[in-house]
Every structure is written in structure tokens, then in C-alpha cells.
């Protein structure tokens, strides 16, 4: 990102402030939701959706993922795939186990 002009940086700064406001707002939202009675599964799904939105905002804007290079994208794709395997395969093994 060494090629940024001062104008662009100033523009970035505006984005950062907006993202900050969004993050703070979503934090309040997710706490608020947790006090509603949405049932077990509904609550989990909603909270995870909100957290994912917040995470995406941080990654895309603060970590500048939106204008990153392909090498980084490939690395992260591999990581996400490995992460999903790590989360879901042991879980499915356990659920399959419980059925017999």
C-alpha cells in the first residue's frame, strides 16, 4: 500500500470512522438481541451472523483485505478451508457416533 496519495489516505480515514461506528452499533445490537428470547438455535445463528459481519468489516477495512494481493487471498482461502474442516469434521464425526 505504499502508493497511496494523501487524498486517498484522508478518504480512508473517513471510512475507518464509519466502520468504527458500525462496529460499535453492532456490538450493542448483539448484546440487545441476547436479551430477547429467540430460542436456542435462533439466538446462536443470529449472534454468529452479527459477529461475522463485524469480523468482515475489521478484515476488509482495518486490515485492508479489500485491496490485498492474490498471494494473500490464496493463503487465506487455504486457511479458511482448513479452518472449516477443523471445525466441522470432528463435530460430524461426533454426531454420527452418537447415533449408533
Partner 1 sequence: MSTDQYKQSFWTKYIWSTDHKIIGIQYGITSLVWLLFGFGLMMIMRYQLAYPDTPVPIVGALLGEGGLLPPEMYNSLGAMHGTIMIFLGVVPLAFGAFGNYFVPLQIGAIDMAFPKLNAASYWTYFAGSVIMATGFFVPGGAANSGWTSYPPLSEIATMGQTVWLIGMVMLITSSLLGSVNILVTVIQLRTDGLTWMRLPIFVWTQFITAFLLLLAFPPLEAAGVLQLMDRVVGTSFFMPSGLVVTGEVMTNAGGGSPLLWQHLFWFLAHPEVYVLILPAFGIVAEIIANNTRKPLAGYKALVYAMVFLAFMSFIVWAHHMYITGMGTSIGAFFQTTTMIISIPSVVILTALLLSLWGGSIRFNTPMLFALGFIPMFGIGGLTGLPLGLAAADIHLHDTYYVIGHFHYVVAPGTIFALFAGIYYWFPKITGKRTNELLGKLHFFFSLIFMNGVFMPMFIQGLAGVSRRLADGGQTYAHAADVIYLNEVMSYSAWLLGLAQIFFIINMVISLFGKKTGEKNPWDATTLEWTDTTSPPLGHGNFEIVPKVYRGPYEYSVPGEKQDFTPQSKKV
Partner 2 sequence: MDIPYTVKNRPDTGLYNGKLGVWLFLASEVMLFGGLFSAYIFLRTGVDDWPAGTEYLDVPLATLNTLFLISSSVTMVMSWASLKLNDFKKYKLYTLITLLFAFGFLVIKYFEYSAKFAHNPPYLPSTNNFLGIYFTMTGLHVLHIIGGILVIGYFYGPGSKMWNSDPERFTNRIEIVGLYWHFVDLVWIFLFPVLYLL
Residues forming the site for partner 2 (CB under 8 A): 1-2, 4, 6, 9-10, 12-13, 16-17, 19-20, 23-24, 27-28, 30-31, 34, 43-44, 47-48, 50-51, 54-55, 58-59, 62-63, 69, 71-72, 75-76, 78-80, 82-83, 86-87, 90-91, 94-95
Report what 92 binds from partner 2, partner 1, none; CB cut-off 5-8 Å by kind. Answer: partner 1
Chain centroid to Cα 20, Å, comes to 14
Q: Which is nearer to partner 1, 28 or 70 (CB)?
A: 70
- E strands, 2-91, in order: none
Please identify, among the stretches 1-9, 16-24, 29-37, 92-100, the one whose residues bind partner 1 according to the rule CB under 8 A.
92-100
Distance of CA 70 to CAs 57, 91, 100, Å? 19, 32, 45
Distance of CA 1 to CAs 12, 27, 40, 93, Å? 12, 30, 44, 44
Per CB under 8 A, 27 contacts partner 1: no
Burial grade of 83 (CB within 10 A; 0-12, 13-18, 19 or more): exposed
Closest distance to partner 2 from the beta carbon of 36 (Å)? 11
Amino acid at each position: 500500500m505504499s502508493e497511496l496519495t494523501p487524498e486517498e489516505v484522508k478518504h480512508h480515514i473517513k471510512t475507518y470512522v464509519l466502520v468504527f461506528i458500525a462496529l460499535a452499533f453492532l456490538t450493542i445490537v448483539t448484546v440487545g438481541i441476547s436479551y430477547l428470547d429467540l430460542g436456542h438455535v435462533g439466538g446462536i445463528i443470529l449472534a454468529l451472523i452479527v459477529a461475522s459481519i463485524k469480523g468482515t468489516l475489521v478484515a476488509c477495512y482495518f486490515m485492508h483485505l479489500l485491496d490485498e494481493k492474490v498471494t494473500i487471498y490464496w493463503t487465506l482461502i487455504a486457511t479458511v478451508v482448513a479452518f472449516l474442516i477443523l471445525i466441522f469434521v470432528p463435530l460430524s464425526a461426533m454426531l454420527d457416533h452418537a447415533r449408533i
